Amino acid sequence: MNLYVGNLSWSSTDDTLKEVFGAHGNVTSAQVVTDRETGRSRGFGFVEMIDGGEAAIEALNGTDLDGRQIVVNEARPRQPRH
């Protein structure tokens, strides 16, 4: 299951996401999306989990991570750009 994680702190890292979501299931990948030019976080990321995705959404949506209240839900498929 691919999860969207929004409202991330600028200090949140891929490792932070792996650690937090890993408590709820097996994480295959975790990525904080960064700006191509500056390298700074864009404030959201994606976590891919083999299992425990639903539990992670329930447990983590609206909780505090690095001083920000995060939003966690199932990621929607990417829309093609025109």
Q: Given 3.40.50.300, 1.10.260.40, 3.40.50.880, 3.30.70.330, which CATH number is that of 2-74?
A: 3.30.70.330
CA-to-CA distance for 33 and 41, rounded, in angstroms? 6
Helix 14-22 and helix 53-60, axial crossing angle in degrees, nearest 10: 100
Q: What is the pLDDT of residues 45-68, one digit of tens each?
A: 999 999 999 999 999 999 999 999
User: What is the CB-side half-sphere exposure of residue 9 using CA atoms within 13 A?
Assistant: 12
Q: Residue written as tokens 């199932």?
A: 74
**pLDDT attached to residue 77:** 85
DSSP codes of every residue in 60-72: HTT-EETTEE-EE
Q: What is the pLDDT of residues 13-26, one digit of tens each?
A: 999 999 999 999 99
